[in-house]
Amino acid sequence: MRNKYIENFEKAQIAEKNIPEFRAGDTVRLAVTIQEGNKSRIQAYEGVCIAKRGQGTGQTITVRKIGANGVGIERIFPIYSDSIEEIKVIRRGRVRRAKLFYLRELAGKKARIKELRRK
């Protein structure tokens, strides 16, 4: 049983953010605000969403990208965080699982995800 005041606050937080519909397997580009001293800038972070978890304002996504020298980099982002300016879906992936942790062991062409084709 959750407090009704907390629920109302969370509804207001969710209503002011524009989050597109996406799921695990989709390639997303996040515009993340980075603070450096007293300056701030927006940096893009693009990768495959390998997991979504939580509910309400506590919802998070895990995004995996391949960095320099083929090293995998994963970051966990709270979806309703103030540091995320926007989320854009680049590709829709065709996967059969909700959590794609098996991609951690795969490399190169084996780690590719087929694109979901619309009818």
| pLDDT tens track for 12-30 | 888 888 899 999 999 999 9
Q: Provide the pairing of β-strand 72-78 with 84-91.
A: unpaired
CA-to-CA distance for 90 and 15, rounded, in angstroms?
23
- Residue 99 CB contacts under 8 Å (≥ 6 apart), including other chains: 24, 50, 51
Name the band, by pLDDT with cuts 50, 70 and 90, for residue 117.
confident
**How much is the pLDDT for 50?**
96
Average pLDDT over residues 6-11: 84
Find tokens 């694109």 and name the residue. Answer: 115
Q: Which CATH class is domain 4-107?
A: mainly beta
pTM of this prediction?
A: 0.86
- pLDDT tens for 50-107 read 999 998 888 999 999 999 988 999 999 999 998 999 999 999 999 999 999 999 999 8
Average pLDDT over residues 100-119: 89
Tokens, residue 52: 């979504």
